[in-house]
Amino acid sequence: MNLDSTFLSVNISVSPFSTVDRKKRPRNDRRIQECAMSIQRTFQEAIMGHLHSRTEIVISLHVLAQDGGFFAACINATSLALIDAGVPMYDYVSACSTALYDSISPLLDPNNAEESDLPFLTVATIGKTEKVSMLLLESKVPLDRLESLIAVTISGCHSLRDQMDRQVRKHGHLRITKRSE
Amino acid sequence: MKYSPAELSYLKESLKASPPIRPDARLETQLRPIEAISNILPTANGSARIRASDGGECIVGVKAKVVPTSSTSELINVDVEISGLKENNSLASTLSSIFQSTLNSSQSLRQRLKLTSRFSFKLFIDVLVLSNQSHPLGLVSLTIYLALLSTKLPLLTSSTDDSKAEEVPVFHDDWDQARPLCDIPVTQSDSSKKSDSHWTPPLILLMAVVGENIFIDPTNAEEQVASTGLFISWSNGSISAPLRTLDIGSTDPQGISSTVLSKAYSIVEQCGQEISDSLTAVYVQDEDASSSDF
């Protein structure tokens, strides 16, 4: 453990009623554990950990409803929660997924049905840069398609970053006006 | 939270006094403020979220599944998960078993879940306690009540009599045709119209006993000085089984006297109807809001 930095611990719990068919997932499900680990590693780089050394930040994610984009939603929610908690970060971490249809056309933000049939990847970027902080690809994709797929996903991440920024500012404005009343 | 012996003794004396003084100046029959909303989950048949004023939060999702009646003995499955605690935690399993046995013992609920002579709906009630300061029983009960009120089951279009030939149940495609699981409870004013088939979910109310006094919806501090916890169920406008004592983390557990028991009865009789009416009002309001969206 690095004592000069903040330690992040991530717990994800997926509710049994989150999908169309009820399914109870054990808490030590391998896929979910992997997901938690990736989130921890991604955000370890995104937060200014040196400002809060010898500190643990516990991130609890509860998935109540899901229809595709599970991992991306977890990352975006973590990003917003850390901002709400006032943890210093370099920029927003926004994530998005894209599926490849018919080996040609990329489909942004696939739902559950599309995810189960098509290869898809999830990308997270820091701020409005082309810097990819996390990339997850669990299925086969033709190599020559990969670049366009990543490009589409990054543009999705950028528009999500704008959306999140708008909401954070709106919320901040609301809080300030409430305080001054 | 930890309190010093002096604080605990002061608290205990003021709660034992006649009339008792609660730290937040509540009446014995008064619940803490809550924030409730129903029908929040798109993938569940019914759902609700309740936030308590002490930061406690509970989410319940109800899902239904068609099963052959013969294959299962219990048509209602309750599963409680408390955030931050292990899955096989004793508090979570105690809560699951309390609600599971209370709901399964309701004959009219079983009747409502019956589809045909061979098939029934099985209800899966999944409870997620996101955070809790005091004992979560009361909070969970209110949330389950609201979630069951908002539960809708698809309308059966195939024949209800399949005793001669087995037939897989077929449902109406239109979700607007779905029938609610519960009848919207009649308010006290027109309770004369209540029919026998009328059913509303049971409410389980947790109380803390301090000396000869009893308090509904105890806070964490009140639980610590209580001699024991007690819960009584309220359903269809009257007190019903179960009535049980419960360990709510008291530092000095003791038995209860019969006067306390009759006090508890009168408290539940005073506020049971009011609580179920106000939760029904929340549901009706949410239902109106969601129907006006379209």
Tens digit of pLDDT for each residue in B115-136?
A: 888 899 999 999 999 999 999 9
Contact yes or no for B59 and A18 at CB 8 A: no
Name the stretches of chain A with pLDDT < 70. 1
pLDDT of residue B186: 53
- With contact defined as beta carbons under 8 Å apart, do B234 and B221 qualify? no
Contact yes or no for B79 and A24 at CB 8 A: yes
Q: What is the mean pLDDT of chain B?
A: 88
Closest residue in A to B47 (Cα–Cα):
A17
The domain limits of chain A are: 7-180
Looking at the predicted structure, is the pLDDT value of residue B113 above 60? yes
Top residue of B41, B43, B49 to mutate, by most chain A CBs within 10 Å, is: B43
SS (H, E, C) chain B: CCCCHHHHHHHHHHHHCCCCCCCCCCCCCCCCCEEEEECCCCCCCEEEEEEECCCCEEEEEEEEEEEEHHHCCCCEEEEEEECCCCCCCHHHHHHHHHHHHHHHCCHHHHHHHECCCCEEEEEEEEEEEEECCCCCHHHHHHHHHHHHHCCEECCECCCCCCCCCCCCCCECCCHHHCEECCCCCCCHHHHHHCCCCCCCCCEEEEEEEECCEEEECCCHHHHHHCCEEEEEEEECCEEEEEEEEECCCCCCCCCCCHHHHHHHHHHHHHHHHHHHHHHHHHHHHHHHHHHCCC
Tens digit of pLDDT for each residue in B146-200?
A: 999 999 999 988 887 777 777 888 898 888 888 888 877 555 445 444 555 678 8
Q: What is the mean pLDDT of chain A?
A: 93
Contact yes or no for B61 and A60 at CB 8 A: no
Measured between beta carbons, the chain A residues lying within 8 angstroms of B63 are 16-17, 22
The architecture of the domain spanning A7-180 is: 2-Layer Sandwich (3.30)
pLDDT of residue B94: 94
Looking at the predicted structure, is the pLDDT value of residue B89 above 60? yes
- Structural domains of chain B in order of their starting residue, each with its CATH number: 26-182+203-291 (3.30.230.70)
pLDDT of residue B86: 82
Contact yes or no for A22 and B79 at CB 8 A: no
- State the CB neighbour count (10 A cutoff) for residue B156: 17
